[in-house]
Structure 1
Amino acid sequence: MTLKNQVLRCPTCRTLVTAGDENFPFCSDRCRAVDLGKWASGVYRISSPVLDPEVLEGAEAASADAVRRQREEDET
């Protein structure tokens, strides 16, 4: 089954929705707006950090090292 033919439920009203539909994963603009309103009003929220700060610092350092190495290679 391809993603376009996959059938899931609208997260707002639980109506069946085909993945290829215009409003996917919602069944309508109304359900999309209701969901956005819940995020905006704080009903939905991410309760903890997405990444551990130590992991984030390590990723930033690794990225900076990769950029530095690439610049050094470009200069030679």
Structure 2
Amino acid sequence: MSSVEDAIGERIVRCPACGGDSVYAASNPYRPFCSARCKGIDLGAWASEEFRMPADTPPDDDPFGDPKRQQ
């Protein structure tokens, strides 16, 4: 922890949206983001499904997996 952090009790982190400095403390209502804009950008990415986990899904014509095909 730096002397600046000790003096003000706040930690500076990287904003996940823009990469800029962000105050990680109760005084920042958008933490870990630096602003409402960056928080909104992240929310929009989740809403538009930009953040997805890769998964093997069955083809549309075989939604439950045909046991005969798996053998």
Structure 2 counterpart SS, 1:38: helix
SS at match of 2:39: helix
Q: Give the TM-score normalised by the residue count of structure 2.
A: 0.56
Corresponding residue number in structure 2 for 1:25: 32
SS of the aligned residue for 1:8 comes to: strand
- Tell me which residue corresponds to 2:11: 6
Residue identity matched to 2:37: R
Q: 1:15 aligns with which of 13, 20, 44?
A: 20
Deviation at 1:22, TM superposition (A): 1.8
Q: Which runs of 4+ in 1 moved over 3 A?
A: none
CA distance in 1, matches of 2:21, 2:53: 26
- SS of 2:47's equivalent in the other structure is helix
Count of equivalent residues: 47
Q: Aligned letter for 1:43?
A: E
The code of the aligned residue for 1:12 comes to A
Aligned to 2:44: 37
User: What amino acid sits opposite 2:33 in the alignment?
Assistant: F
Q: Which amino acid aligns with 2:22?
A: V
